[in-house]
């Protein structure tokens, strides 16, 4: 494989794992080389979006060890999403074991340390039984899929341009915004497609209730740097990002002040650095952020953060997190879980 040219796209690997919850228990985990699945055309996942998923990465370290980054957090978030959907989810232990197993079965696809790429794991839980009425599915299928990946957009730490979608929402007040359900991504597609057609790489949403505060990007959380502060939105319509939570801890550890609070749009002009954070995007700096009355409008207010490269504080946080992930420095928080080979 040409590891250096990997992007965030799907590559077929050796195996995927799956198990079904039926009659009150999980079936033995199956390892399949075929990445197609058979399910009833009436499965709840297909009609009523009874689906939730996770994203986490496995890294080949400098010392040759293989590490997962905070898999228990993903397991707990999947259980929370499943609870919202009213469906059965695997235990934390089962989730983590399956993640380890899929990595071991797909070591051929785990990028080498030097590539700074990783193996992305996509645990996915779907409503499986045929149904016509709207109800939580009684049977679920849990899969752990994987694919080697590089940077989500461009190259590592390459800045991107973004736009605020004032006239679109990815989440409703009191809805699914803080859960990792597929429907949230469906909701983001219209605005994302318009933004892409205008040359933007990502969309930033405002809080859906008042449209006055910053919420998050279509596939990542928002953070900003002002002076010595790491600032990130407090909102119940955003996904509780495991990367963001880790960056908050990293920022404190590195002597920065952490502010988790509402961020009015007007504050954008006061930030020195702005970035996306998440598993797929890691830290991706924002070069400029455009605010328009509507996404379709020609009128633009532009906030510029970097022309090229990455701001110094974002870079420091990026280095800290990725150095832990690739086993280059001690992990003072015990975030990584080794996959014993």
Binds 336: which of ligand COI, ligand PLP, none (CB < 5-8 Å by kind): none
Q: Does 258 bind ligand COI (CB under 6 A)?
A: no
Q: Does 55 bind ligand PLP (CB under 6 A)?
A: yes
Figure out which of the listed residues 111, 278, 285, 327 binds ligand COI, where binding follows CB under 6 A. Answer: 278
Q: Which residue has the tokens 């370290």?
A: 61
Figure out which of the listed residues 220, 287, 314, 336 binds ligand PLP, where binding follows CB under 6 A. Answer: 220
# binding residues, ligand PLP (CB under 6 A): 12
Q: How far is it, in rounded angstroms, from Cα 69 to Cα 58? A: 7
Among the listed ranges 22-30, 223-231, 235-243, 301-309, the one in contact with ligand PLP (CB under 6 A) is 235-243
Binds 81: which of ligand PLP, ligand COI, none (CB < 5-8 Å by kind): none
Q: Does 280 bind ligand COI (CB under 6 A)?
A: yes
Please identify, using beta-carbon distances, which residue of 126 and 265 lies nearer to ligand COI. Answer: 126
Q: Does 215 bind ligand PLP (CB under 6 A)?
A: no
Q: What's phi and psi for 167, nearest 5 deg?
A: -100, 20
Q: Does 74 bind ligand COI (CB under 6 A)?
A: no
Q: How far is the CB of 210 from ligand COI (least distance, A)?
A: 26
Q: How far is it, in rounded angstroms, from Cα 85 to Cα 104? A: 31
Q: How many CB atoms are located within 10 Å of the residue 44 CB? A: 28
Q: How far is it, in rounded angstroms, from Cα 286 to Cα 306? A: 7
Contacts from 137-141 at CB under 8 Å and sequence distance 24+?
A: 137/43, 137/44, 137/45, 137/50, 137/87, 139/20, 139/21, 139/22, 140/20, 140/21, 140/82, 140/87, 140/88, 140/89, 141/18, 141/19, 141/20, 141/21, 141/37, 141/39
# binding residues, ligand COI (CB under 6 A): 6
Binds 216: which of ligand COI, ligand PLP, none (CB < 5-8 Å by kind): ligand PLP
Q: How far is it, in rounded angstroms, from Cα 338 to Cα 331? A: 12
Q: Does 233 bind ligand COI (CB under 6 A)?
A: no
Q: How far is it, in rounded angstroms, from Cα 265 to Cα 51? A: 32
| Residue spans of alpha helices (H) in 139-255 | 182-197, 242-253
201 is catalytic: no
> What DSSP string runs through 274-318?
EEEEETTTEEEEEEEEEE-SSTT-S--EEEE--SSS--HHHHHHH
The two structure tokens encoding residue 130: 């045929």
The answer to whether the CB of 43 falls within 8 A of the CB of 130 is yes
Q: Does 71 bind ligand COI (CB under 6 A)?
A: no
Identify residues 198-227 at the interface with ligand COI (CB under 6 A).
219
Q: How far is it, in rounded angstroms, from Cα 211 to Cα 78? A: 28
β pairing state of 160-164 and 282-291: parallel
Among the listed ranges 29-37, 82-90, 241-249, 294-302, the one in contact with ligand PLP (CB under 6 A) is 241-249
Q: Does 321 bind ligand PLP (CB under 6 A)?
A: no
Figure out which of the listed residues 44, 55, 275, 327 binds ligand COI, where binding follows CB under 6 A. Answer: 55
Q: Does 123 bind ligand PLP (CB under 6 A)?
A: no
Please name which of 121, 134, 122 lies closest in space to residue 46, comparing C-alpha atoms: 134
Q: Active site residue: 180, 201, 292, 313, which one?
A: 180
Please identify, using beta-carbon distances, which residue of 43 and 144 lies nearer to ligand PLP. Answer: 144
Among the listed ranges 34-42, 91-99, 275-283, 328-336, the one in contact with ligand COI (CB under 6 A) is 275-283
Binds 157: which of ligand COI, ligand PLP, none (CB < 5-8 Å by kind): none
Q: Does 279 bind ligand COI (CB under 6 A)?
A: yes
In the complex, the residues that contact ligand COI under the rule CB under 6 A are 55, 185, 219, 278-280
Task: Write out the catalytic residue numbers.
Answer: 180
Binding residues for ligand PLP (CB under 6 A): 55, 216, 219-221, 239, 241-244, 278-279
């Amino acid at each position: 494989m040409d590891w250096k040219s990997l992007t965030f796209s799907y590559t077929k690997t050796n195996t995927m794992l799956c198990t079904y919850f039926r009659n009150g228990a999980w079936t033995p985990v199956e390892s399949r080389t075929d990445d197609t699945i058979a399910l009833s055309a009436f499965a709840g996942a297909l009609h009523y979006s009874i689906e939730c998923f996770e994203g986490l990465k496995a890294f080949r370290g400098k010392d040759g060890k293989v590490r997962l980054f905070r898999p228990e957090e993903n397991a707990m978030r999947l259980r929370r999403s499943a609870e919202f959907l009213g469906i059965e989810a695997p235990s934390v232990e089962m989730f983590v074991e399956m993640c380890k197993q899929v990595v071991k079965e797909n070591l051929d696809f785990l990028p080498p340390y030097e590539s700074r790429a990783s193996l992305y794991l996509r645990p996915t839980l779907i409503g499986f039984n045929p149904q016509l009425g709207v109800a939580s599915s009684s049977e679920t299928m849990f899969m752990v899929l994987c694919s080697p990946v590089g940077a989500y957009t461009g190259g590592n730490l390459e800045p991107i341009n973004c736009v605020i979608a004032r006239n679109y929402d990815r989440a409703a007040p009191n809805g699914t915004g803080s859960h990792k359900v597929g429907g949230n991504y469906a909701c983001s597609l219209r605005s994302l497609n318009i933004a892409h057609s205008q040359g933007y790489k990502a969309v930033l949403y405002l809080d859906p209730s008042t449209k006055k505060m910053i919420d998050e990007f279509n596939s990542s959380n928002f953070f900003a740097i002002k002076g010595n502060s790491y600032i990130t939105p407090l909102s119940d319509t955003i996904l509780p990002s495991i990367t963001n939570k880790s960056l908050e801890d990293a920022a404190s550890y590195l002597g920065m002040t952490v502010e988790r609070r509402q961020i009015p749009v007007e504050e954008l002009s006061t930030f020195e650095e702005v970035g996306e954070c998440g598993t797929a995007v890691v830290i991706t700096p924002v070069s400029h952020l455009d605010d328009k009355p509507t996404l379709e409008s020609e009128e633009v207010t532009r906030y510029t953060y970097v022309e090229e490269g990455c701001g110094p504080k974002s870079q420091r946080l990026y280095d800290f997190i990725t150095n832990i992930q690739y086993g280059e420095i001690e992990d003072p928080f015990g975030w990584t879980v080794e996959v014993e080979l």
